Amino acid sequence: MWHASEIGQYCSTRASLLSKKKLKRGFQLTDHQLTRLW
């Protein structure tokens, strides 16, 4: 299992990467889709 800090770091990293992709491609992913990507 991951520690909470590791999960938080992963989530923030993932979110920043997806934000860049979202800005670049001009689309949004729902929370459900983001969860499935993990």
pLDDT score, position 14: 80
Q: Which residue has the higher pLDDT, 6 or 22?
A: 6
Q: Which residue has the higher pLDDT, 27 or 10?
A: 10
DSSP collapsed to 3 states, 1-38: CCCHHHHHHHHHHHHHHHHHHHHHHCCCCCHHHHHHHC
pLDDT in tens, 16-35: 877 776 655 545 556 666 66
Q: Give dist(CA 6, CA 33) in Å, integer.
A: 21
Using the predicted structure, report yes or no on whether residue 38 has a pLDDT greater than 70.
Answer: no
pLDDT (mean) for 4-13: 80
Burial class (CB in 10 A: 0-12, 13-18, 19+), 16: exposed
Instruction: Answer whether 0.75 is exceeded by the pTM.
Output: no
